[in-house]
């Protein structure tokens, strides 16, 4: 007997981890914006979360297999034409976004393409070819594809102290905020860098720095552990997907989420350049939240259909 899709098959454990991160984000947005011109942003964030949840449930009911074209590759390695097609699918929108200009968003296409090629069975010689082409094009992209302020962002993180009052200011203040949190943090609403308005964008791009100042090393580790649990749950769903294409899609979500976490967390401690990439599910902003809930809706869609026969 054919079993119908049911919300009983939803990954409620994954959703609970996601909502826990969202709740911490709302708390931190409230703490960092209270008494500022951004006061009330946490209420708007709640609205975006609710809207995102509705979008997630809606997307989960649309059969993802209808949206995908099955030219399934089976177990064979990806051919050169597969590599070229995947490259163009990533390169064209990436170039358009970069032209806006939005370097941070443009870079998110890289991990998705890399994950797709890796899982698709890219051959070593093709991977080497991509690296060589990227190396040849890099100087041209640097010279003609990036704005001067984008170049400053990519280079300042190496020596932020060299221009601590201009391009290196954000990074310097962020590192001070993270360090001043100590082991246990200063408490909600008591961060000197955050509440003193020294840390720029504490409720958006630098929310992890604000969180670390108020909740310390223990709080930062706890938050990263929550993200780790989300990633592990997503990988589990990829492994149990009903077909190869579904597994690829879920791993694409893993790649995007992991990229955002690594770049944002690395950015606030000076290991990555400041590129304007938000911390998923936690930074204030509707577009980032809706994208993540849309992606989670697709993951739930795939999970629910593994039980349909």
SS (H, E, C) 180-231: HCCCCCCCCCCCHHHHCCCCCCCCCCCHHHHHHHHHHHHHHHHHHHHHHHHH
- Looking at mean pLDDT, say which of 143-157, 277-291, 295-309 comes out highest: 277-291
Per-residue pLDDT, 14: 96
**Cα–Cα nearest to 211, from 77, 21, 78:** 21
Strands (DSSP E) contained in 5-93 are: none
Q: How far apart are CA 195 and CA 180, in angstroms?
A: 13
> Could you report the per-residue pLDDT of 59-83, keeping only the tens digit for each?
998 887 776 654 754 555 667 777 7
- How do the domains of the chain map onto residue ranges? 7-307
Per-residue pLDDT, 276: 79
Per-residue pLDDT, 309: 54
pLDDT, averaged across the chain: 85
Burial (CB count within 10 angstroms: exposed 0-12, middle 13-18, buried 19+), residue 267: buried
**Is residue 84 a contact partner of residue 92, using CB atoms and an 8 Å limit?**
no
Question: How many percent of the chain have pLDDT more than 70?
Answer: 89
Instruction: Assess whether pLDDT exceeds 70 at residue 24.
Output: yes
Task: Work out the pLDDT band at 307, boundaries 50, 70, 90.
Answer: low
Instruction: Assess whether pLDDT exceeds 50 at residue 1.
Output: no
Least confident of 20-34, 133-147, 186-200, 201-215: 133-147
Q: How far apart are CA 88 and CA 64, in angstroms?
A: 23
Provide mean pLDDT across the span 118-141: 80
Per-residue pLDDT, 98: 74
**Is residue 25 a contact partner of residue 283, using CB atoms and an 8 Å limit?**
yes
Task: Work out the pLDDT band at 229, boundaries 50, 70, 90.
Answer: very high
Task: Work out the pLDDT band at 290, boundaries 50, 70, 90.
Answer: very high
Per-residue pLDDT, 83: 76
DSSP string, 146-179: S-HHHHHHHHHTTSGGGGTTTTTHHHHHHHHHHH
Per-residue pLDDT, 2: 47
Task: Work out the pLDDT band at 28, boundaries 50, 70, 90.
Answer: very high
**Is residue 281 a contact partner of residue 24, using CB atoms and an 8 Å limit?**
no
Length of the chain: 309
Instruction: Assess whether pLDDT exceeds 90 at residue 254.
Output: yes
Per-residue pLDDT, 22: 97
Q: How many separate helices (H) and strands (E) can be counted in the chain?
A: 13, 0
Provide mean pLDDT across the span 91-114: 77
Per-residue pLDDT, 128: 85
Instruction: Assess whether pLDDT exceeds 80 at residue 57.
Output: yes
């Amino acid at each position: 007997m054919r079993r119908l899709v049911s919300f009983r098959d939803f990954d409620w454990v994954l959703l609970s981890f996601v909502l826990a991160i969202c709740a911490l984000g709302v708390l931190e947005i409230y703490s960092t914006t209270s008494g500022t011109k951004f006061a009330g942003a946490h209420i708007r964030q709640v609205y975006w979360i609710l809207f995102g949840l509705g979008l997630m449930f809606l997307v989960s009911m649309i059969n993802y297999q209808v949206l995908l074209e099955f030219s399934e590759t089976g177990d064979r390695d990806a051919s050169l034409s597969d590599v070229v097609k995947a490259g163009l699918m990533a390169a064209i929108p990436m170039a358009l976004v970069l032209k806006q200009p939005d370097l941070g968003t443009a870079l998110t296409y890289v991990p998705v393409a890399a994950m797709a090629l890796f899982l698709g069975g890219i051959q070593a010689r093709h991977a080497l070819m991509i690296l060589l082409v990227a190396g040849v094009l890099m100087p041209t992209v640097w010279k003609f594809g990036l704005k001067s302020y984008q170049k400053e962002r990519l280079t300042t993180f190496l020596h932020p102290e060299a221009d601590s009052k201009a391009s290196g200011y954000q990074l310097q203040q962020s590192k001070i905020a993270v360090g001043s949190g100590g082991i246990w943090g200063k408490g909600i609403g008591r961060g000197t860098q955050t509440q003193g308005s020294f840390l720029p964008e504490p409720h958006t791009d630098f929310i992890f720095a604000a969180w670390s100042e108020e909740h310390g090393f223990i709080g930062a580790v706890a938050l990263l552990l929550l993200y780790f649990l989300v990633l592990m749950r997503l990988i589990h769903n990829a492994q149990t997907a009903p077909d190869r294409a579904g597994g690829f899609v879920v791993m694409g979500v893993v790649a995007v989420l992991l990229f955002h976490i690594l770049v944002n967390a690395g950015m606030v401690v000076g290991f990555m350049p400041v590129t304007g990439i938000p911390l998923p599910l936690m930074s204030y902003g509707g577009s980032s939240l809706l994208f993540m809930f849309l992606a989670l809706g697709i993951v739930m869609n795939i999970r629910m259909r593994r039980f349909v026969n």
